[in-house]
């Protein structure tokens, strides 16, 4: 289960009560339709969950426990460094959260300023989080930034060796401060080659202590992989609750994204309707191929037996052209380190090739 708390919601006490009530009413819609579903993982994220008061989080958790069955192997809360306090950390741990995803983003003050993030003593924040007693702590960093001191970042990582790291390339998201500065001509985004070079150098250095297991994710052994996020890459079902949350109802082959507008979300839930902004039902073949594409994001890759003989025949020439970016190893199709940097393009090329096979087969069957 995933609960989404988007940035920009004003979490004054009365507003957070209203929003928690709406999320629980949405959850009840799923319980009424599908019964008492069972979940192995719980993840609360989306930008602002750490702004919620412990009392509000407690009400959310108690309400969900009345509606569903939880046999939790992992429960994660995303937190911003500026929201952390010893009291909140203790409350989250006592509530049952076993894992914290800490959005440090950088260890250099000048990089934090560039990212429009509060300049905080990141080492103190990390140490406070670790000492709170969670089973695992994951740290997010943004890379591919001009002026980023890789050796300084690596020294920090080597000193603390967090259980899990997520490395995201700098991007200029629509509506962000960086995007605004770019449109105003005040800054320029880094070149793709520069970002790739920086990421690959960092990833190679991290291999001393970490296993890479997904395009952006590194773990200190398999036991520290993010179980919840792994559900996405394995195409396993999950329910997403809250504004903008996504979900995958695998038994109906239906994926959805909730509306991103608070007013629309509130109106739909109060009418007793699912607050979908978009939804799509996949046919069996598309669902299977989507699972293949998601698997390519991971170090496990895709078992070549997932492809039909005809698909393998169509893929043969494409894979020769993509040899530097993906290869068959031990019976599995996997990305190379260079392939991770252009994964979206590689995956689209393979998808397009599979679509050509599908169209060709349809033509033969006419």
Residue 229, judged by CB atoms within 10 A of its CB (0-12, 13-18, 19+), counts as buried
User: Does 307 fall in a domain?
Assistant: yes
DSSP state of 215: T
**What is the count of structural domains for the chain?**
2
Per residue in 93-126, pLDDT tens? 999 999 999 999 999 999 999 988 999 999 999 9
- CATH number for the domain harbouring residue 33: 3.30.750.200
- Contacting residues for 173 by C-beta, under 8 A, at least 6 apart: 179
Query: Is residue 194, in this structure, part of any structural domain at all?
Result: yes
Write down the residue that tokens 């988007």 correspond to: 6
- Domain of residue 128: give its range: 2-233
**Is the dihedral angle over the CA atoms 164, 167, 172, 177 positive or is it negative?**
positive
Average pLDDT over residues 3-20: 74
Distance separating alpha carbons of residues 94 and 92, to the nearest angstrom: 6
CA geometry: angle 248, 251, 254, nearest 5 deg: 40
Q: Look at residues 195, 214, 233 and tell me which one is the last residue of a structural domain.
A: 233
**Beta-carbon contacts of residue 340 (< 8 Å; ≥ 6 apart):** 199, 203, 212, 215
Residue 243, C-beta contacts closer than 8 angstroms, at least 6 positions apart? 4, 6, 9, 258, 259, 260, 261, 262, 265, 275
Residues 20-75 have pLDDT tens digits of: 999 999 999 999 999 999 999 999 987 667 778 889 899 999 999 999 999 999 99
168-214: per-residue pLDDT in tens? 998 877 767 777 777 877 778 888 889 989 999 999 999 999 999 99
- Compute the mean pLDDT over every residue in the chain, rounded to the nearest whole number: 91
Establish if 23 belongs to a structural domain: yes
- 318 in any annotated domain: yes
């Amino acid at each position: 289960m995933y609960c989404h708390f988007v940035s920009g919601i004003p979490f004054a006490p009365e507003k957070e009560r209203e929003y928690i009530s709406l999320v629980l009413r949405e959850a009840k819609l799923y319980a009424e339709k599908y019964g008492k579903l069972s979940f192995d993982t719980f993840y609360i994220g989306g930008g602002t969950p750490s702004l919620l008061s412990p009392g509000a989080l407690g009400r959310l958790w108690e309400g969900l426990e009345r509606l569903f069955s939880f046999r939790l192997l992992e429960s994660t809360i995303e937190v911003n460094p500026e929201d952390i306090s010893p009291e909140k950390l203790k409350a989250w741990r006592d509530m049952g959260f076993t894992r914290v995803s800490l959005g440090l983003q950088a260890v250099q003050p000048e990089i934090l300023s560039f990212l429009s993030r509060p300049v905080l003593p990141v080492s103190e924040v990390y140490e406070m989080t670790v000492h709170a007693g969670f089973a695992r702590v994951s740290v997010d960093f943004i890379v591919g930034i001009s002026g980023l001191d890789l050796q300084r970042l690596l020294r920090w990582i080597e000193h603390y060796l967090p259980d899990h790291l997520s490395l995201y390339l700098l991007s200029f998201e629509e509506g962000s401060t960086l995007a605004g500065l770019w449109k105003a001509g005040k800054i320029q985004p880094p070149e793709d080659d520069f970002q790739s070079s920086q990421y690959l150098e960092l990833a190679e250095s991290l291999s001393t202590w970490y296993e890479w297991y997904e395009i952006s994710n590194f773990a200190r052994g398999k036991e520290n992989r993010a179980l919840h996020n792994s559900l996405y890459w394995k195409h396993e079902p999950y329910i997403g609750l809250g504004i903008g949350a996504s979900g995958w109802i695998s038994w109906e082959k239906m994926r959805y994204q909730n509306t991103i507008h608070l007013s629309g979300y509130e109106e739909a839930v109060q009418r007793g309707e699912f607050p979908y902004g978009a939804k799509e039902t996949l046919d069996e073949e598309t669902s299977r191929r989507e699972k293949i594409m998601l698997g390519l994001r991971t170090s496990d890759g895709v078992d070549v037996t997932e492809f039909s003989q005809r698909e393998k025949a169509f893929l043969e020439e494409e894979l020769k052209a993509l040899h530097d970016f993906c290869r068959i190893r031990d019976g599995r199709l996997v990305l190379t380190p260079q392939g991770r940097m252009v994964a979206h393009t590689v995956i689209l090329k393979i998808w397009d090739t599979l679509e050509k096979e599908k169209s060709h087969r349809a033509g033969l069957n006419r």
